[in-house]
């Protein structure tokens, strides 16, 4: 049982210790603020993108840093999750990417405005938020595939920048769509070309959007899918 004087000393001492600890932690947090907030990376392009974000009330549907409406997806790490090429195509015409599904307005951004919005979102994604939101389950870099003969199978640029955002190959990529390791084994070339050209026409309402690709890009993707699907069993990620 503590006496009154001992209790007083215990209270004052404990209060002093915790006050000092609080002040030290506060000082440390403030000292690291410039690094955590990514403030030195704020360019004129990022500022312009923020103005576009505010002028169009994007937060009326989306959340950023966990703040905003919850009608549309959280966009803090959307650049990391989807990639810049995908976002450029989506912002150019949201309805074309997801016909009949997406309710996002087409703001008719110019190429410059699109770049500015993406620059702002990219900056937001690099702010240190102590793990919020959780890192998207993507392979950051779509690595080339190598066969036992050490001949490298290069992934088409469109695959590395667009397809990998949703699909996975050899354990690298997104999880929105199915893995593509054996995609070409399930169909023929003509059917695969028709599917990539216009998924909505083949299967209305499918989650895969119609991506504006040239015929040469489609052929390149199909060649790649057949190569990895029918290659040696020892294919592995380099």
Q: Residues 126-177: pLDDT tens digits?
A: 888 877 776 655 444 444 444 444 455 678 888 887 888 788 887 787 777 8
DSSP β-ladder status, 67-68 and 145-146: unpaired
- Here the tokens at position 112 are 């410059």
Average pLDDT, the chain: 81
What's the mean pLDDT in 184-206?
86
**Other C-beta atoms within 10 Å of 168: how many?**
21
CATH of domain 145-237: 1.10.760.10
Q: How far apart are CA 127 and CA 132, in angstroms?
A: 10
- Is the pTM here over 0.85, yes or no? no
- The reported pLDDT for the residue numbered 99 is 62
- The reported pLDDT for the residue numbered 141 is 43
Omega before 133 cis (within 30°)? Answer: yes
DSSP structure class, residue 190 = H
- The reported pLDDT for the residue numbered 56 is 93
Q: Higher-confidence residue: 148 or 53?
A: 53
Q: How far apart are CA 54 and CA 64, in angstroms?
A: 12
Share of the chain above pLDDT 70, in %: 84
- The reported pLDDT for the residue numbered 238 is 38
Give yes or no for a contact between 93 and 106, defined as CB atoms under 8 angstroms apart.
yes
Q: Higher-confidence residue: 237 or 97?
A: 97
Asked if pLDDT for residue 31 goes beyond 80, the answer is: no
Q: Collect all residues with Cβ–Cβ distance below 8 Å to 222 and sequence separation of at least 6.
A: 184, 189, 192, 193, 196
Supply angle C-alpha 86, 89, 91, rounded to 5: 105
What's the mean pLDDT in 191-205?
87
- The reported pLDDT for the residue numbered 170 is 79
Phi, psi of 67 (to 5 degrees): -110, 140
Q: Residues 55-110: pLDDT tens digits?
A: 999 999 999 988 888 888 899 988 888 888 888 888 988 876 666 666 788 899 99
Domains 42-125 and 145-237 share a fold: yes
CATH of domain 42-125: 1.10.760.10
Give yes or no for a contact between 148 and 159, defined as CB atoms under 8 angstroms apart.
no
- The reported pLDDT for the residue numbered 93 is 81
Q: How far apart are CA 224 and CA 92, in angstroms?
A: 27
**What are the sequence ranges of the domains in the chain?**
42-125, 145-237
Q: Collect all residues with Cβ–Cβ distance below 8 Å to 39 and sequence separation of at least 6.
A: 33
Q: How far apart are CA 208 and CA 195, in angstroms?
A: 10
- The reported pLDDT for the residue numbered 179 is 86
Dihedral (Cα; 148, 151, 152, 154), 10-degree rounding: -120
């Amino acid at each position: 049982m503590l006496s009154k004087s001992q209790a007083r000393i215990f209270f004052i001492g404990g209060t002093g210790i915790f006050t000092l600890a609080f002040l030290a932690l506060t000082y440390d947090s403030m000292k690291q603020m410039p690094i955590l907030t990514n403030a030195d990376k704020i360019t004129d392009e990022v500022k312009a993108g923020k103005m576009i974000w505010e002028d169009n009330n994007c937060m009326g549907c989306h959340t950023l840093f966990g703040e905003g409406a919850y009608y549309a997806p959280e966009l803090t790490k959307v650049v990391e999750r989807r990639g810049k090429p995908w976002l450029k195509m989506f912002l150019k015409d949201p309805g074309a990417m997801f016909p009949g599904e997406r309710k996002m307005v087409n703001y008719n951004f110019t190429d410059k405005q699109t770049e500015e919005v993406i620059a702002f979102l990219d900056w937001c994604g690099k702010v240190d938020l102590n793990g919020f939101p959780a890192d998207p389950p993507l392979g950051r870099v779509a690595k080339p595939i190598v066969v036992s003969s050490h001949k490298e199978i290069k992934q088409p640029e469109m695959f590395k920048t667009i397809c990998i955002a949703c699909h996975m190959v050899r354990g690298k990529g997104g999880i929105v769509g199915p893995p593509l390791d054996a995609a070409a084994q399930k169909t023929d070339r003509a059917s695969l070309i028709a599917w990539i050209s216009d998924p909505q026409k083949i299967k209305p309402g499918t989650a895969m959007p119609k991506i504006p690709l040239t015929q040469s890009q489609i052929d390149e993707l199909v060649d790649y899918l057949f190569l990895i699907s029918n290659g040696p069993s020892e294919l592995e990620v380099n």
